[in-house]
Amino acid sequence: MEEIINTENENEVSFPETVVNQENETATKETCSCETEKQCKCRCMPIINGILLLGLVLIYIFHFTGIGAKGGKSLVNADAKAPVAVSEGGLKIAYINTDTLMAKYQYAIDLQKQLKDFQTAKENSYKQQMTQFQKDYQAYVGGGGENMTLSQQQAKEKELTDRAARLQNLEGELAQQVAEKTMQESEKMTNAVYAFIREYNAANQQFDIIFSRSFSSSPILYGNEGMDITDEIVKGLNEEYARVKADK
């Protein structure tokens, strides 16, 4: 569903209606090759209607181109928003504002805090090891090797060199661990949300399409507020999450 801005109208040239009609009549006669105008219209109308029908189908296609229930509690919601059909017999479409969902979904809020704590713990572990290494290094170069034999000095210097190399690698390893955990937990939550939406929709409105809408990236520039089901989805997700936490 993309916005197409047509700038060609500024350069349009208007032709007199009589000229256009004459050209259309000439083209019709040349195409149909009928003996009379009546026969021509009768033979050409099915073709024109077929082209118009195909055009409508293409326009329609272009325009309209999770955590499950636990504890035996039904996802049926008597207050679920009634679907707003695009047209009579058309698709039933809804959308969810993902920015609002992530800001109000307690699981997402708790997960963000957990990931932040995990990252902080890894950073603190690295800082502690780095601080201890700096103390040991300063103690050695500041005179700690005066009472060591040559072989002892060589052993100490090798130890410090190896520790420095490990710390250098450790920084990258810890950053990778944080990134991997963030990706894994985010994917887990996303799958849970998708599963919930799928089951909730099956139990309630049964929309044909549910779009994602966000401020930063969204194919939806405008949506009828009657199609926004964000609040009821967030409510259902939080109720589900509360039951899961209570069962732990």
**In which domain, by residue range, is 11 found?**
1-65
Contacts of 125 (CB under 8 A, 6+ apart): 174
Q: Which of 49-58, 81-90, 117-126 has the lowest mean pLDDT?
A: 49-58
* Residue 239 pLDDT greater than 90, yes or no: yes
Q: What is the mean pLDDT of residues 242-248?
A: 88
Tokens of 93: 């479409």
Inter-helix orientation angle 106-139/230-247, to 10°:
60
In a domain, 93, yes or no: no
Angle 239-243-246 (CA atoms, 0-180°, nearest 5)? 135
Q: What does pTM read for this prediction?
A: 0.59
Instruction: Considering only residues 75 and 2, tell me which one the structure prediction assigns the higher pLDDT.
Output: 75
Contact between 120 and 131 under an 8 Å Cβ cutoff? The reply is no
Residue 111 lies in a domain: yes
- Whether residue 140 sits in one domain with residue 55: no
The enclosing H or E element of 94 equals strand 93-97
Specify if 222 maps to a domain.
Answer: yes
| Pair 77, 248: CB distance under 8 Å | no
Q: Which residue has the higher pLDDT, 130 or 10?
A: 130
38 and 113 share one domain: no
Which pLDDT score, from 0 to 100, does residue 81 have? Answer: 67
Q: How far is CA 175 from CA 50, 121, 167, 187, in A?
A: 61, 11, 12, 18
- Return the sign of the alpha-carbon dihedral for residues 156, 160, 161, 163: positive
pLDDT tens figures, 10-22: 444 333 343 334 4
Domain membership flag for residue 183: yes
- Examine residue 147 and state whether it is found in any structural domain, yes or no: yes
* Structural domain contains residue 90: no
Q: Secondary structure of 139-163 in the HEC alphabet?
A: HHHHHHCCCCCHHHHHHHHHHHHHH
The 10 Å Cβ neighbour count of residue 4 is 5
**130 and 50: one domain?**
no
Residues 36 and 108 in one domain: no
Band of pLDDT at residue 61, cut at 50, 70 and 90: very low
Q: Structural domain tally of the chain? A: 2
- Position 89 scores a pLDDT of 64
pLDDT at residue 213 in the model:
84
On whether both 23 and 123 belong to a single domain, the answer is no
Domain presence at residue 40: yes
Is there a single domain that holds both residue 217 and residue 110? yes
Are residues 121 and 53 part of one domain?
A: no
Rounded to whole angstroms, the Cα distance separating 26 from 31 reads 9
Q: Is residue 72 a part of any domain in this protein?
A: no
Give residues with Cβ within 8 angstroms of 241, minimum separation 6.
67, 105, 106, 107
